Structure 1
């Protein structure tokens, strides 16, 4: 699958060999001070803008997903990304409904990208303003910071404001730095910058340096400066977003185009008809421009929201009451909201901006509150955590956002930081490696079998024995022949991810074993550098008298629940079993439901509910379902 996501040279290699070494400890703070002095930018403004872009990380000279470099995210995206959009490769049926024809994006022509907007070409202007070469701005940390300061100072002059020491008088320049083309997004970005100034920040960066921004709770930004930016007003008439983000309505079409085919989502009446239980995090595997063109194609597939990496701008495409075709599992689609983030799983050098993480977290908090969705990893899912609906679908399921999405940071922004809820010898653990320092080797990011560039990761690798040279555990759904899993970046067969909770099977020295896909799986968990923390959870295990129980990828009702005219959907188990004696964390009971939406005309749509209930469990890297009648619950 990685080979299908073609990347051009901007993202296809590790940082340049001549990239400047990280400054000596303590000098990064000095670089901000020197740049602020040279260009007359308040230190707090320069530091806060950089924090919102990169959290002060340099990423070793590697670009972000939108071609931004260094702590100031100076963009140089002239080398565009090749087109392998998220839903246009692999074999996953985005709709995930075996009762209907497969619906994916494989046959949809990928549109040509539009000319690059100014927000993706800030590095060349920074070079003209600062006198540094483009190469120096890409690879030199101090030069990069000076380039960003030069852009802020130029924006302040162009808006007719003096280069004073009052941080609040720089609101317009900060809003312009976002590169947004609409007023709401520019102001949301600037408001976030001033929130950082008010609260202050303190962080050790990826180069091992401590940077401190003292809190300035009394700063008062002059928001009236936004009127002079001359930006457009986005269409927000039908958006369903919190007031703290900038959201635009760019609808996905609901159109019929012959032979009973239509697109690109299904009408529904949620939450009246069905509860929304899940929020699914995706990455686009395409640029912002191409992503919007595709979701507006009725022959493509759909999701509810897209989020732009450079500034966190949000576009809504499908009303929340309706069902998007995004997760590859119809049961999950019918009960979820899908968020696509501009990004590329197999570009590990590429990174997401803090601006996008923050707006995404605010949107998820809003959705979770609106629908009562618990803020945990059995309800806030990556696409790579969604189970295959049937055994034959397991191998084709997508794997984004992958091991480089920073779930720990994301949950801090959600207001639910992943902290211990039990002692170090608890019966349950939450996976929680230190993202930046935890760098397991992955392969296949650019070339099959070749090592990816080192990068922080929120996932731990699982082995059959408590030693580093033991084989990885097996996933019989992905490899029916019984072969061991691999270190491939798209191979989820031996991977546990940050925030996921598992029952402890055994401990031996610095190793911990968990129950995983019906087997005992070991990961390195040394006390000095733990990769998991103690947790509390309710567990399920097969009820007495059952040697093993089936595991399902969807929670469909029993056959007798289907009324006349609605075809019975098979309750088909996945190619796994849950043996007696093993325990798995449950995310709660859920009723058996099936949303019958056979076509464009909504008159025949209906929800089928039965008496059968299920437990959603963390079974492997993906969640799964077991029948409540098959298990007993352990506190």
Structure 2
């Protein structure tokens, strides 16, 4: 959906594997695409030190927990202000201060802080200050005061209000994501993981969008999707042409924000599917038989798939997202007899009469198309630093990281499930190299990867 090409921020580069590491799954064929690095809050974009200070100052001035501010910023933008350019629903800055009929946090921030809109939109420190002021105001409105302000669990309704979601289920989707990030921490700005059980208040009675009912499963075309309909004012019932093309978009915003926007009568846009960055969750908002408004004049013959994130920020394009999206595209193509090639699976910018740039230069088309066609172009490469007596391995391409450590004794086996993208502490650094082992509690030896059909009797299989 991105209208304007954005200038990428510098992103933090992960260090190379330590000397002595060994590749365990073999080299890739020269034609295989490189799998994208999974993103996590601990390894987001490189952030200047003064940004951390801006969060400190705003949290102190407005009595808003730093974890709340940082996690909202990460959920909205991965802490990237995008050079003051707006999101798809006219939100600005890394805190997404918005200016649309349903969300006026930008003007509210200007009134509360006395800062001009131009500064709030383009200066990251001002943007953080503005968001803190708005959250402070909402906390006052919900009666959150005194010592309760320090209780992270109590901020749930305030964060939900800040989202200005189209409905309560979408508000819960947004706020649950913020609390997920609070739980993981955002290492780039020094926020440590904090496991919090949120006090959802009235939202406890709101069914999360991930809880699919039998009717919702029947309502969608793709069995793995959650059905959450767009506003009927944002698409056309029926088709005037046969479906021949699948279109790949980037939302220029967050997953929950995009869903909310497509439900908003002011949007006048929609897509058939929206896919979440962190885990590849799929929401369908328009039935394939109907015409979503996503590529202007080319709407009648296309199906649109939106991907959470921003075109200039590759951290959003996780392997989970690529694989989930490819599964959706493959399913659509096979059901509808659409060839699985680049002539029929296109980016938004590749359609006629378009001004948008998505999915942009960071979208890995080679990798994506190999996944669409049923292959795994990049089976995992495991690089483990060797300790003690070394490393033993059993693996296969579809493995998703089960770690087994044998303890002393012929029958003692300790199992740790470690998924791609998990944060791992290794060699004095914290990152999401799933090739690194978690600390098993001391001297690590006899460590190997378990395949999905273990030969050892009694060894559990990780999900």
TM-score by length of 1: 0.38
Bigger Rg, structure 1 or 2: 1
Between structures 1 and 2, the one with greater strand share = 1
Structure 2 length normalisation: TM-score? 0.49
Pick the structure with more helix per residue.
2
Greater RCO (CA < 8 Å, at least 6 residues apart): 2
